[in-house]
Amino acid sequence: MATTVVGASKILILTEVRKHYLTHFGSPKDSETIESDGVNVEICTWPSPLAESTGVLVATLGGAMVPAPDPSSNHRYEFFALLNPGLTKISRILAELATYSLSEGVGLGDSHSVDFQRPLSEFNEMHQVLLIRPADDFLPTLAAGAVHVEFLEVIPVFAAEVSFKQEHGLGALVEKWEALEVQFWNPARTEVDLHG
């Protein structure tokens, strides 16, 4: 049977996602609302929860209210990125990901990539993102009534990295990043030769 999210159900989902964030990260230090495809998506910012990081965590609040393209699906998504301080221009990208199924008519999920056809930052020509499910203990899937909300990390990537992932798989790309000590979460990074 199809899961339809309307009225009070949307409010319940939004409330549960907000509580989930509060439980894991506390109150956000900042937030802004961005309209994307007729949906108001709140973009929340916290200091990075990772002890070794001085960056920020930026996450959507509102993507889980957007219906999946498949009406029988009970999965919804919110998106987050770990960034260096001052690199929060990705807010618009996160809002667009939150409403992607409305604008494009297709769903997103773990290991999917999205090409925005424009630079993600002023630092390089990177214009694609890769979506990765984080380790369960970082931000686990949330059950909000009959709906399951997954949280996908948004990784800015170069076109060559997307090609490498398509050819060798996500695991091979992550291993290559680790071997080359690539700060893959950093949208200001320079491109490295993955075949060298």
Report the chain's mean pLDDT, rounded to a whole number. 85
**What residues pair up with 58 in beta bridges, in sequence order?**
45, 81
What pLDDT is recorded for position 154? 93
SS3 33: strand
Query: How is residue 16 written in tokens?
Result: 């549960």
Place of tokens 């200001």: 188
The alpha-helical segments, DSSP class H, found in the chain are 8-25, 91-98, 100-104, 159-168, 170-179
- DSSP SS3 for 40: strand
Q: What is the pLDDT of residues 89-127, one digit of tens each?
A: 688 899 999 999 888 888 898 999 999 988 887 777 888
Angstrom distance (rounded) from CA 33 to CA 62: 10
φ and ψ at residue 63, rounded to 5 degrees: -60, -35
Nearest one of 14, 36, 31, 157 to 96, comparing CA atoms: 36
Q: pLDDT tens for residues 131-153?
A: 999 876 788 999 888 888 999 99
The span from the CA of 146 to the CA of 141, in Å, is 13
* pTM tops 0.85: yes
Alpha helices in 120-169, H assignment, sequence order: 159-168
The encoded tokens of residue 54 equal 């001085």
**Which residue from 78, 162, 75 is spatially nearest to 113, judged by alpha carbons?**
162
Largest CA distance in the chain: 54
pLDDT tens, residue by residue, 36-55: 988 899 999 998 887 666 68
Whether the per-residue pLDDT at 12 is higher than 60: the answer is yes
pLDDT average, residue stretch 1-27: 75
Which of these ranges, 83-92, 94-103, 158-167, has the smallest mean pLDDT? 83-92
Domain ranges of the chain: 8-109+132-156
Q: Helix, strand, coil shares of the chain as percentages rounded to 5?
A: 30, 25, 45
The alpha carbon of residue 118 and the mean position of all alpha carbons in its chain are separated, in whole angstroms, by 18
